[in-house]
Structure 1
């Protein structure tokens, strides 16, 4: 059913909440809508079976967007989930198997007894097999893009909604490296309301990059060549998409004493590569890690043995908007001086979730203390996602579901 564009979205949802086969509802329809918008996805999936009107309401794109917006802005992270990769032994083909686990993000930030991590659930992700490893490409609006190694040196890409347990396998990109490797990213282009997967292969000798872009809206890959001279992007990270721009940490002067980190970007709207200007750091030896906190681009600058500064770019693209969020002092425990990747910050700004080496750490700025919360597994990589009803299927195939 196509919604009437002239109708108010709330009126549309309220009208759909009424079942033509029933009499007047005992609860006002606007109250029904408000209640449903606050429910977790698992409950909404059950509610779709209550009656035709609820099924129609919960399946409506406007309701899905409203529910996503409300869940995203929930300040206590009740609808947010931490998803992370772990190593399992013994190894297969000479390498450990990497699998996925999830747990509630609020519990991770505030559970001092570590029960959330200790009770984390292993996820039944697409194409899961005891000999298949998996890596996280990125997450956006409740969708997670993963790469599953089904055969040696052969990975399949999936767009997957862990909350609804629906997934879509992307056709092969056919992207052959013109340089050393291919890095991937996943994000949302709000201007066209479409999700995109990007496979980028840089060639610094020619100052260009081959880019293949998959659009979930039309279900096709396309190939372009763009100007590129921003260093070697890290194939281990492609998780950052803010305001329709993908970002990777990259290195220049690779293998030389002048090696330094840059932040390379790919704009999903303009389909161009660029470089993000960084804050002015203090002098001295340092290590940089890229992350995202809320809607901000984030850099953690570690001065070995001294402290780590957490910077956020509050107005993307404006260098002067870089703000130092917190300085984490060096604590005299060897592993705590290791550079870390920021994952999440609490709404009050007091708790910061990070990956350090193979551990998950919560730093409490109020008490100037950090707590190791990852005890049972070796954490390889992680990201957060918000529960949503967003479909991972190409728009052209939704009519068949």
Structure 2
């Protein structure tokens, strides 16, 4: 019995010593703190910077910013994702929690956003989003890179484009991973007459802080307002012909080499159809609307490999849609729920039971994009968010 008590006492003492050692280990404590903080939403992290100097330094560190971004992007429940959309008329931006849109319980709350240069009579255009940064155009004249989570923004220098009749402007926004640089592409198109046109393409580097001209758009003119970012390149649907011989092709612009290419399309089915180019997560996709019948979503599983195009889902039109069509989905959840537009209404389509439901109490919207919360700085890609 004495031996048993002594053994128990010795074991308890050893356990206490180990626990004390763990508690006193500053490296382990730091790792636990980092693990907890990296899973918090940005709003909470901004408050945490006031706790102490060490937390301020930690949360401002580029390695922490990257780790937090990766964890937020990989969250399967979209806990750190939002949908930002422009309302009708196109003079306001609102935001909704992405999870609450996919799995609504009652009415969905939307928040009006205080974006840069907000004006009650100036239209706003969401060019695109990447890693928590959003590119916003105001009246095609002012461009901003904006982080809606930290509320910081950076206005781009004017590119020097001169206004002229018959000119319209398109943009694209994406990330060059190899160089750690965010880039904005501007394509200005000028029609001379029905058969003649010219294009000027400029690229803005957030890292360098300037614009530069590159070669003209090589395949006719782009048809999309905004370039679709996937696999390190921006993509536009484009056409050289606008009469009875109308053609549709996908033109890519690699952001690292700043060179153009063409992405071969899938073999679509027969029938009268409208094609819409998009990006779903990291993949390029095309939505094929067969008027009044169905919409088929094609996704390129392996970038640049034509045979990897896969028809992911066919969405039926339950009633005569009139002029309304489905948009490219903004997101597809693991259980098959798709968030997309039908005309100007946000809907959730459940691919498992082929049912659609309109999201209530959300304004009609013209365009939208998903945005992940991040601490990435809009001032320069490798500069701390502060």
Residue aligning to 2:235 = 247
Larger RCO, structures 1/2 (Cα 8 Å, 6+ apart): 2
Q: What displacement does 1:330 show?
A: 2.4
Alignment of 1:371-390 (within 5 A): 371-373=357-359, 375-390=361-376
Residue aligning to 1:168 = 154
TM-score (norm 1): 0.83
C-alpha contact (below 8 Å) 2:83/2:371 kept by paired residues: yes
Residue of 331, 344, 348 corresponding to 2:331: 344
Instruction: State which drifts further: 292-301 or 174-183.
Output: 174-183
Deviations 1:28-56 (A, max 9, x none): 22111110111111111111111111111
Q: What displacement does 1:180 show?
A: 3.9
Asked if 1:222 is matched to 2:217, the reply is: no
Task: For 2:292 and 2:250, locate their aligned partners in 1 and report how far apart those are by CA, in whole Å.
Answer: 24
Residue aligning to 2:356 = 370
Residue aligning to 2:223 = 234
Asked if 1:148 is matched to 2:138, the reply is: yes
Find the residue that maps to 2:92 and give its secondary structure.
strand
Q: 1:212 to 1:327 in 2, by over 3 A?
A: same
Alignment of 1:149-298 (within 5 A): 149=139, 155-176=141-162, 180-202=167-189, 209-226=199-216, 228-229=218-219, 231-238=220-227, 240-254=228-242, 256-298=243-285
Residue aligning to 1:10 = none
Find the residue that maps to 1:54 and give its secondary structure.
helix
Task: For 1:400 and 1:121, locate their aligned partners in 2 and report how far apart those are by CA, in whole Å.
Answer: 23
Q: What displacement does 1:155 show?
A: 1.9
Residue aligning to 2:77 = 76
Give the superposed CA RMSD: 2.5
Task: For 1:219 and 1:147, locate their aligned partners in 2 and report how far apart those are by CA, in whole Å.
Answer: 17
Task: For 1:369 and 1:193, locate their aligned partners in 2 and report how far apart those are by CA, in whole Å.
Answer: 42
Find the residue that maps to 2:328 and give its secondary structure.
strand
Task: For 1:192 and 1:146, locate their aligned partners in 2 and report how far apart those are by CA, in whole Å.
Answer: 23
Residue aligning to 2:50 = 49
Find the residue that maps to 1:163 and give its secondary structure.
coil
Task: For 1:336 and 1:367, locate their aligned partners in 2 and report how far apart those are by CA, in whole Å.
Answer: 25
The number of aligned residues is 359
Instruction: State which drifts further: 63-72 or 205-214.
Output: 205-214
Deviations 1:270-297 (A, max 9, x none): 1122222110001110111122222111
Task: For 2:94 and 2:138, locate their aligned partners in 1 and report how far apart those are by CA, in whole Å.
Answer: 15
Q: What displacement does 1:133 show?
A: 1.7
Task: For 2:237 and 2:359, locate their aligned partners in 1 and report how far apart those are by CA, in whole Å.
Answer: 26
Residue aligning to 1:14 = none
Residue aligning to 2:99 = 106
Task: For 1:155 and 1:235, locate their aligned partners in 2 and report how far apart those are by CA, in whole Å.
Answer: 18
Task: For 1:203 and 1:191, locate their aligned partners in 2 and report how far apart those are by CA, in whole Å.
Answer: 33
Task: For 2:332 and 2:367, locate their aligned partners in 1 and report how far apart those are by CA, in whole Å.
Answer: 17
Alignment of 1:91-102 (within 5 A): 97-102=90-95
Find the residue that maps to 2:134 and give its secondary structure.
strand
Residue aligning to 2:21 = none
Residue aligning to 1:392 = 378
C-alpha contact (below 8 Å) 2:331/2:339 kept by paired residues: yes
